[in-house]
């Protein structure tokens, strides 16, 4: 069992590879990145694990810290807990039996598609939405990136969040319950979650709305995909369909856009893509959204099919899963199934602890000081050029002004102001150059055709 420090983030910057090109900084929706001494630095308090920077980095300097697959060997019972999206990564000519068989060959002993208990979760969310009258619309807590975003940027919407755990948590409890019922001891069981995204890694390592996760390790889906492909057999494939007996149509579609929204409320909406989500939350906070009962918000385009650790094309994944789902029953058909025997225990695991506010978009917790800083910031902005060039190491002029009032940057960080000061003899040319070298490193000012980053010119 793990209880790691709060705000764990799996994304790291490799200082050897980072060229300080600012692509990551410009792509970050929460302005969590700055360039310091020529290198990208991520502010952990602002990061929501959306993975935009990972995609934007042309030097592959941003990487995902992950558990070693060999870790599974330290357990007698090795559970692969994977979302249905995993199956959607593979082309149609590779069957479910082949994929399951390859997973067993890699070394797992038990395989669970984590959406098996989705029926319980669906019923529990329905009941919560029916009874809870304090906030509308109810917002799904499925996507950890969105929950973090609400915690740090829209804390006034915390009451709208539905306090229910994520399907991978529930799937892990189901797997554990079933194995322990068969006589396995807890310390013999290793549960490994196959994740489509960075946000889920963080939500396992520092869980949202619960004290600890029962998941023992996280394996990135793209890493697993390559291993599975290498182990696909074309002959003598055993039938593994009994392992999917409790999988449902609703479960397979759950992590796709409208996977949840289709089940709840008279009026529901599904929004995917972190920038779309932010724009919508702005409107919601400003009370510009008419009567909506249920909101499904997902950070990735096409939801988990477009997760930043997936291997396949997101549109093809959606099509494959929709096609696959047609072969399965709806979860409402499972009323007499053996899985129902576990219902009382699973229901007790469904409810998450309250989710706290972690506001980082305020200038100061003290209202008076915040107002003071705000007026100082506005004065600073008057002197900045307003072209958001990023040469100061902040994503835009407003962010630089904010850094300044928080003592994290200086006026001289702005290259335009430095230029003006030189003209007015307020600063020497050598001092101005030193300032620039401090921010960007000496190499940036040399003529060098082999300079790191040259291949990215015009990127």
Nearer residue to ligand SF4 within complex by CB, 100 or 193: 193
User: Any contact of residue 396 with ligand SF4 (CB under 6 A)?
Assistant: no
Shortest distance (Å) from residue 259 CB to ligand SF4? 10
Nearer residue to ligand SF4 within complex by CB, 11 or 350: 11
Shortest distance (Å) from residue 104 CB to ligand SF4? 25
- Nearest CA to 304 out of 439, 203, 400, 186 is that of 203
User: Any contact of residue 52 with ligand SF4 (CB under 6 A)?
Assistant: yes
SS3 441: coil
User: Any contact of residue 248 with ligand SF4 (CB under 6 A)?
Assistant: no
Q: Compute, in degrees rounded to 10, the torsion defined by CA atoms 258, 261, 262, 265.
A: -160
User: Any contact of residue 394 with ligand SF4 (CB under 6 A)?
Assistant: no
Q: Which residues of 27-57 are buried (b: 16+ CB within 10 A; e: fewer)?
A: bbbbbbbbbeebbbbbeeebbbbbbbbbebb
List CB contacts of 295: < 8 A, sequence separation 6 or more.
137, 138, 139, 140, 160, 261, 268, 269, 270, 271, 284
Distance CA 247, CA 98 (A): 17
* Residue 50 and residue 29 in contact, taking contact as beta carbons nearer than 8 Å: yes
* Residue 142 and residue 170 in contact, taking contact as beta carbons nearer than 8 Å: no
Using the rule CB under 6 A, give the single segment among 24-32, 74-82, 317-325, 355-363 that binds ligand SF4: 24-32
User: Any contact of residue 307 with ligand SF4 (CB under 6 A)?
Assistant: yes
Nearer residue to ligand SF4 within complex by CB, 217 or 259: 259
Residue 313, classified by CB atoms within 10 Å of its CB into exposed (0-12), middle (13-18) or buried (19+), is middle
User: Any contact of residue 250 with ligand SF4 (CB under 6 A)?
Assistant: no
Which of 199, 318, 401, 414 is the binder for ligand SF4 (CB under 6 A)?
199
Using the rule CB under 6 A, give the single segment among 127-135, 295-303, 352-360, 373-381 that binds ligand SF4: 295-303
Which of 51, 117, 259, 390 is the binder for ligand SF4 (CB under 6 A)?
51
Distance CA 320, CA 314 (A): 10
Using the rule CB under 6 A, give the single segment among 46-54, 89-97, 103-111, 153-161 that binds ligand SF4: 46-54
User: Any contact of residue 201 with ligand SF4 (CB under 6 A)?
Assistant: no
User: Any contact of residue 11 with ligand SF4 (CB under 6 A)?
Assistant: yes
Nearer residue to ligand SF4 within complex by CB, 117 or 144: 144
CB atoms within 10 A of CB 113: 25
User: Any contact of residue 303 with ligand SF4 (CB under 6 A)?
Assistant: yes
Which of 19, 39, 53, 281 is the binder for ligand SF4 (CB under 6 A)?
53
Q: Give whole-number Cα distances, 335 to 249, 250, 331, 332, 339, in Å.
A: 15, 14, 8, 7, 9
What is the C-alpha R_g of the chain?
25
Residues between 179 and 198 with contacts to ligand SF4, criterion CB under 6 A: 196-197
Shortest distance (Å) from residue 56 CB to ligand SF4? 8
Shortest distance (Å) from residue 207 CB to ligand SF4? 14
Q: Which positions touch ligand SF4 (CB under 6 A)?
A: 11, 27-28, 30, 32-33, 42, 47-53, 143, 145, 196-197, 199-200, 298-300, 303-304, 307
């Amino acid at each position: 069992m793990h209880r790691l420090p709060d705000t764990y983030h799996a994304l790291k910057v490799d200082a050897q590879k980072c060229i300080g090109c600012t692509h990551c900084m410009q792509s970050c929706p929460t302005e969590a990145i700055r360039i310091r001494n020529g290198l990208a630095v991520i502010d952990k308090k602002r990061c929501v694990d959306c993975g935009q920077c990972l995609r934007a980095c042309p030097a592959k300097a941003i990487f995902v810290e992950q558990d070693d697959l060999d870790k599974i060997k330290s357990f007698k019972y090795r559970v692969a807990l994977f979302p249905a999206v995993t199956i959607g990564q593979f082309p149609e000519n590779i069957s479910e039996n082949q994929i399951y068989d390859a997973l067993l060959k890699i070394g797992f002993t038990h395989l669970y598609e984590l959406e098996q208990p989705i029926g319980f979760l669906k019923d529990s969310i329905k009941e919560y939405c029916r009874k809870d009258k304090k906030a509308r619309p109810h917002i799904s807590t499925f996507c950890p990136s969105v929950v973090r975003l609400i915690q740090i940027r829209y804390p006034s919407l915390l009451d709208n969040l539905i306090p229910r755990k994520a399907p991978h948590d529930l799937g892990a409890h189901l797997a554990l319950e079933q194995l322990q019922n068969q006589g396995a001891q807890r310390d013999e069981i290793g549960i490994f979650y196959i994740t489509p995204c960075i946000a889920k890694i963080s939500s396992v390592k520092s869980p949202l709305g619960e004290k600890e996760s029962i998941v023992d390790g996280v394996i990135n889906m793209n890493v697993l995909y390559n291993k599975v492909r290498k182990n696909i057999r074309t002959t003598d494939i055993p039938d593994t369909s009994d392992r999917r007996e409790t999988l449902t149509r609703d479960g397979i579609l759950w992590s796709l856009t409208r996977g949840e929204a289709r089940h709840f409320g008279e009026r529901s909406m599904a929004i995917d893509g972190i920038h779309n989500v932010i724009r919508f939350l702005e409107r919601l906070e400003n009370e510009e959204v008419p009567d909506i009962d249920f909101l499904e918000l997902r950070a990735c385009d096409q939801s988990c099919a477009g997760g930043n650790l997936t291997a396949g094309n997101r549109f093809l994944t959606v099509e494959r899963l929709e096609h696959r789902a047609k072969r399965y029953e709806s979860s409402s058909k499972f009323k007499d199934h053996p899985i129902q025997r576990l219902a009382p225990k699973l229901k007790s695991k469904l409810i998450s602890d309250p989710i706290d506010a972690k506001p980082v978009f305020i200038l100061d917790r003290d209202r008076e000081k915040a107002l003071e800083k705000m007026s100082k910031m506005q004065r600073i902005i008057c002197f900045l050029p307003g072209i958001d060039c990023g040469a100061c190491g902040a994503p835009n002029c407003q962010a630089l002004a904010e850094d300044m009032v928080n003592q994290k940057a200086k006026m001289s960080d702005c290259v335009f102001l430095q230029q003006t000061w030189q003209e007015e003899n307020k600063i020497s040319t050598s001092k101005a150059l030193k300032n620039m070298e401090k921010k960007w490193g000496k190499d940036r000012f040399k003529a060098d055709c082999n300079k790191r980053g040259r291949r990215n010119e015009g990127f």
